[in-house]
Chain A
């Protein structure tokens, strides 16, 4: 993307740059008026975009089909509006019906869909021996099976971690810590990559490096 030449775009670029400095004045200096200014602008504009984009989606998927003769669409429209009775204490119970439909659909889809990928496929993958015969593959096969066994035993919640269960559950917590450690390492890559993008933008606007 080339450095903009048109006035409105250049002004826009520098606006973005200044707003970034306002937000980063909080960690790099302290909480201050400039930060609060930028934060309130961000929350306000984010909320407006949320309403505009969702209004547009509602029109396309519900109101327009309704006006074109799909009368059944009146049901979700009315139920959706009823959710706002949550804001009126004496009629709050009415909002439970649309929520009940959302919760029922959400859990129905979630429960039916989670079993195969998150339980069955996980077990099948753990008990499928490596095709290639290298030593390291078999060590990893054993490691993952023992690790999953002991980690699941750790998450037994109505059995004390004593007696026969103590060694495997103690081992299970170590496997979990290794998983969280790798997760922490990947989180660092994610957070630093985003900050890298901001550092790059900072230099680009100052024309120290090309856009």
Chain B
């Protein structure tokens, strides 16, 4: 009994919910209350599940601090910053319903989170540039074609391309508006079929990857 509860019943839920989504799409022009309700549940469950990654991260830093592991000071710093931001945010929310109504939370949000968010995400600009010189080689026909197309698109994306040679925008735009389309469209079509294959295996309960790291109980 317990094995059915741990495996077959789970796959049945996946399959049933998937079929409900199909039934709504193909047989209900407006919307179907059953599918709409389940979708609304999925939104809420997804929302609650977002805390999972956080729990693991907090566990890791609490252990790091307790056991004085290497660089434990940074784990302590993490916990302090996390608690201050969490409490001030919740205080703001419980007070007026909008977290940023709390002065400390709003100040940290605008003056610490915003610059750090932009800075961390933009770091890739550095890496692309050094990789372009040190690693991007036309080692074969594939890579050569890719680099030629890439350079023309780069120079046609920047207005300066036209100043260098009037042909650049024309060739660059051909690559952007025609040249890339078959390759990208092939990824689209093949990707769609890949998603359907993966969903179909999940529908039949043949996809072990989802359930808690795929380990069989």
**A residues whose Cβ falls under 8 Å from a Cβ of B:** 8, 11-13, 15-17, 19-20, 23-24, 26-28, 36-59, 61-62, 72-73, 75-77, 79-81, 83-84, 86-87, 92-93, 95-115, 118-119, 122-123, 126, 140, 143-144, 146-148, 150-152, 154-155, 172-189, 191-192, 194-195, 197-198, 201
Minimal Cβ-Cβ distance residue in A for B187: A179
| Contact string against A for B residues 173-217, beta-carbon threshold 8 Å, 1 for contact and 0 otherwise | 001101111111111111111011011101100000011100001
B contact residues, range: 35 or more
A16 to chain B, nearest CB (A): 3
Query: In the complex where A93-B6, A101-B17, A182-B149 touch, is A24 in contact with B47 (Cβ < 8 A)?
Result: no
B6 to chain A, nearest CB (A): 4
- Is B125 a contact partner of A192 (Cβ separation < 8 A)? yes
- Is A122 a contact partner of B188 (Cβ separation < 8 A)? yes
Residue B52 lies at the interface, judged by CB distance under 8 Å to chain A: yes
Residue B166 lies at the interface, judged by CB distance under 8 Å to chain A: no
- Is A194 a contact partner of B118 (Cβ separation < 8 A)? yes
| Contact string against A for B residues 54-94, beta-carbon threshold 8 Å, 1 for contact and 0 otherwise | 11111000000000000100110111111111100110010
CA distance A198 to B85 in the complex (A): 25
- Is A96 a contact partner of B116 (Cβ separation < 8 A)? no
- Is B52 a contact partner of A104 (Cβ separation < 8 A)? no
Contact partner, A19, options B85, B115, B185, Cβ 8 Å: B115
B55 to chain A, nearest CB (A): 6
- Is A179 a contact partner of B45 (Cβ separation < 8 A)? no
A–B Cβ pairs within 8 angstroms, 24 of them: A23-B119, A42-B112, A44-B85, A45-B116, A47-B57, A61-B47, A76-B44, A80-B49, A87-B55, A99-B211, A101-B14, A101-B45, A105-B17, A105-B38, A110-B195, A112-B21, A118-B192, A176-B183, A178-B180, A178-B183, A181-B148, A181-B149, A184-B153, A185-B175
